[in-house]
């Protein structure tokens, strides 16, 4: 091997080593980036679960318990009756001190931990903690809040009222399905227990509420 061959080989070795180091460094940075992205996603999804989605899931779970307990499926499907809420009322009477007769009566809406699990409460939770909600869920929540203001307003023209009522029903259905799917999707990504059926269909698995009938 003459001098020119030796110089050529040395030059080739230097170029090859340089390229190998560049490629290795690029792959290492790419790998580190992907690891950081995955770590960020896992932390973000976990925060979504702990700050918002598990709370929403619990509200829907109460609705599903009511569905099973009162056999609501016999009256319609999930799409027909997507959410059930409880409203408690207290009637107060004011009596005349002398005659003992009622002079005034009024109905008071009772608010407690059970009645707070309602449709508008579900939506307000999404909007209050919007930084943890998906874009789709935010869109549905904003739309629902608007329809909720009008769907019981009997002063509206009949056709307009019907439109609000149909839209309200469809929106709350979509909200329930979206919460169930996204909650399970996040649980899966975080390597936590999740329900495959709920992830696929967006319908809560309520078999746990099927108790034996008491005789």
| 152 and 122 Cβ atoms separated by less than 8 Å | no
Helix, strand, coil percent content, the chain, rounded in steps of 5:
65, 10, 30
Whether residue 193 is contained in a domain is answered as yes
pLDDT tens-digit series, residues 153-195: 999 999 999 999 999 999 999 999 999 999 999 999 999 999 9
Whether residue 101 is contained in a domain is answered as no
Whether residue 215 is contained in a domain is answered as no
pLDDT tens-digit series, residues 134-155: 999 999 999 999 999 999 999 9
Domain extent, residue 77, equals 3-82+112-209
Whether residue 91 is contained in a domain is answered as no
Containing 93, the helix (H) or strand (E) segment is strand 88-95
Whether residue 52 is contained in a domain is answered as yes
Q: Dig out the tokens for 195 from the structure.
A: 């329900």
Whether residue 133 is contained in a domain is answered as yes
Question: What's the CA gap between 165 and 152, in Å, rounded?
Answer: 8
The answer, yes or no, to whether residue 27 has pLDDT greater than 70, is no
The domain tally of the chain equals 1
Whether residue 93 is contained in a domain is answered as no
Average pLDDT estimate for 49-74? 96
| 168 and 147 Cβ atoms separated by less than 8 Å | yes
Instruction: Tell me the pairing of strands 102-110 and 88-95.
Output: antiparallel
Question: What's the CA gap between 41 and 35, in Å, rounded?
Answer: 10
| CB-side neighbour CA atoms (13 Å) of 203 | 10
SS3 of residue 104 by DSSP? strand
Whether residue 100 is contained in a domain is answered as no
Please give the C-alpha separations between residue 163 and each of 7, 67, 123, 143, 157, in angstroms, as whole numbers. Answer: 84, 26, 20, 13, 10
Tell me the pLDDT of the chain averaged across its residues. Answer: 85
Stated pTM of the model: 0.77
């Amino acid at each position: 091997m003459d001098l020119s061959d030796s110089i050529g080989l040395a030059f080739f070795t230097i170029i090859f080593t340089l390229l190998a180091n560049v490629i290795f460094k690029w792959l290492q940075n790419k790998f580190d980036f992907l690891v950081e992205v995955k770590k960020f996603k896992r932390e973000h999804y976990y925060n979504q679960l702990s700050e918002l989605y598990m709370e929403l899931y619990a509200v829907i779970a109460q609705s599903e318990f009511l569905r099973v307990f009162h056999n609501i499926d016999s009256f319609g499907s999930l799409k027909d009756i997507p959410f059930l809420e409880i409203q408690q009322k207290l009637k107060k009477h004011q009596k005349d001190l002398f005659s003992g007769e009622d002079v005034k009566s009024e109905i008071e809406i009772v608010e407690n931990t059970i009645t707070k699990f309602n449709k508008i409460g579900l939506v307000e939770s999404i909007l209050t903690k919007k930084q943890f909600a998906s874009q789709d869920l935010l869109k549905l929540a904003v739309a629902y809040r608007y329809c909720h203001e009008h769907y019981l307003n009997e002063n509206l023209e009949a056709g307009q009222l019907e439109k609000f009522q149909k839209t309200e029903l469809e929106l709350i259905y979509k909200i329930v399905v979206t919460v169930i799917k996204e909650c399970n999707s996040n649980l899966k990504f975080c390597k936590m227990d999740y329900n495959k059926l709920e992830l696929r269909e967006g319908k809560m698995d309520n078999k746990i509420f099927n108790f034996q009938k008491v005789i």
